[in-house]
Amino acid sequence: MVTLADLQVRSLGPCTVPSPLSHYVGGRATNEYYVGEDDRVLFDDTVELIQRRGLPLEELPTFETGGPRARLFFDPGSVRVGVVTCGGLCPGLNDVIRAIVMELHEHYGVRDVVGFRNGYAGLVPGLGLEPVALTPDFVANIHERGGTVLGSSRGAQDVGVVVDTLQARGIDILFVIGGDGSMRGAHRIAEEATARGADIAVVGVPKTIDNDIPHIGQSFGFQTAYSRAAQSIKAAKIEAEASLNGVGLVKVMGRHAGFIACYSALAGHDADFVLIPEVPFALDGDNGLLEHVRRKVAAQGHAVLVVAEGAGQEHLPHDGATDASGNARLADIGRLLRERITDDFTSRGEEVLFRYFDPGYFIRSVPAEPSDSVYCSRLAQTAVHAAMAGRTDMVVGRRRHRFVHVPISYVTHRPHHVSPDGDLWLSVLESTAQPFDMR
């Protein structure tokens, strides 16, 4: 069970430098739109959950609020900043880079910002990846394109070498934009810097297109991803409707969490079945998927399935191979479903026209949509405020519309999943009218 101690964010030391943003926070108190600098945000959000803990108010688990502070740890005139993007692509990476640079330059007066290229590999001198100066002119229009101008990579690097590089270049603040594995790397960097007595703030902006990092609200890029996936689902339905016994299948990203599958299906109400890693299903039998698909096609002339890439892996062989991040390589559930559904119709002497859509790389490489761009900017600004105030070994997130600081160790202790007992999955079942259980 989470405790107040679990949510305490580390600081490099007392804040003694007057902030150029002090006029933004002077005299402002907590209200329904703003959380004061010395206030905290509750972890629990219902009376019952709070009462169940049986703790006095001052011992309840709470998050440190995000936002500008009246005083800073770092002197803006002398601070040096590094930015790195790690892991797979995601809509909004360039938006975050741009917003970090502009906030540092325009509001704090920080002039020395560099971007390390190709993830943590850019912090290893032997690989020859020289950093790039991040100026307002350089980042001015980068949010208009997808991907990351800094490049990215997967896999860990020697943390000792990474901190050597930071110290050699005089970096005081490192912003890490990446997913679960990248945040674990950021945690190790922060720990190594602390062990050396180096005042280096390591602040993360968590990035996961699957939305599977807990305690940060919704991850940036996620809205763009499920919006684009919904377009593929619409196309699959149009194709299926136009065919005799048409079946459309759309495979979306989601190794361990089915959030994109759920939200993209809800966005257009075009799916008849949604399959996610969190909810097992049988293929065969009277209550198996194949039987339900055949019944749906018989009833309405077509069927549309949305499947997360990590769904149904129990039906597939695995060779134990992993990627550079240590993740197990997934077998193709979409291909299996195409084969099994086609074979099922054929074995009964029935015609079927199958259309398979896999928009995975397309939806992660596009520019962020406006709603995500706004969110990216606000996350980046919150990260800058935290770093300038000397916070370290933490990520920024939004907890029920309040921006907060979360220790890296807490967001990486478990993944975030769609709850089969939660209201999101219930909404999917209501939207698709698929059986509550297919086992």
Which residues are catalytic, by number? Answer: 210
Was 209 annotated as part of a binding site? yes
What residues contact residue 413 under an 8 Å CB cut-off, 6+ apart? none
Do 315 and 333 touch, CB atoms closer than 8 A? yes
Other C-beta atoms within 10 Å of 135: how many?
Answer: 12
Was 253 annotated as part of a binding site? yes
Was 371 annotated as part of a binding site? no
Was 75 annotated as part of a binding site? no
Rg (C-alpha) for the chain, rounded Å, is: 24
The CA distance from 329 to 136, in Å, is: 40
Tokens linked to 375: 């969110």
- Give how far Cα 283 sits from Cα of 153, 226, 271, 288, 422, Å: 37, 26, 18, 5, 24
Was 154 annotated as part of a binding site? yes
Was 210 annotated as part of a binding site? yes
What residues contact residue 217 under an 8 Å CB cut-off, 6+ apart? 397, 398, 399, 400
Was 182 annotated as part of a binding site? yes
The amino acid sitting at 71 is R
Was 88 annotated as part of a binding site? yes
Was 33 annotated as part of a binding site? no
Was 301 annotated as part of a binding site? no
Other C-beta atoms within 10 Å of 323: how many?
Answer: 12
DSSP H or E stretch at residue 273: strand 273-275
DSSP H or E stretch at residue 399: strand 394-399
Was 216 annotated as part of a binding site? no
Tokens linked to 379: 């996350």
Burial level of 322, CB count in 10 A (0-12/13-18/19+)? exposed
- Residues paired with residue 173 on neighbouring β-strands, in sequence order: 81, 201
Closest CA to 313 of 359, 272, 279: 279
**3-class DSSP state of 274:** strand
Was 363 annotated as part of a binding site? yes
**3-class DSSP state of 93:** helix
Was 377 annotated as part of a binding site? no
What residues contact residue 122 under an 8 Å CB cut-off, 6+ apart? 84, 116, 129, 131, 150, 151
Please, what's the b/e burial string for 68-89 (b: 16 or more CB within 10 A of its CB; e: otherwise)? Answer: bbeebbbebeebbbbbbbbbbb
Was 213 annotated as part of a binding site? no
**3-class DSSP state of 156:** coil
Cα of first residue to Cα of last residue in the chain, in angstroms, is 32
Was 155 annotated as part of a binding site? yes
Binding-site residue positions for Mg(2+): 180
Binding-site residue positions for ATP: 88, 154-155, 179-182
Binding-site residue positions: 88, 154-155, 179-182, 208-210, 253-255, 309, 361-364
Binding-site residue positions for substrate: 208-210, 253-255, 309, 361-364
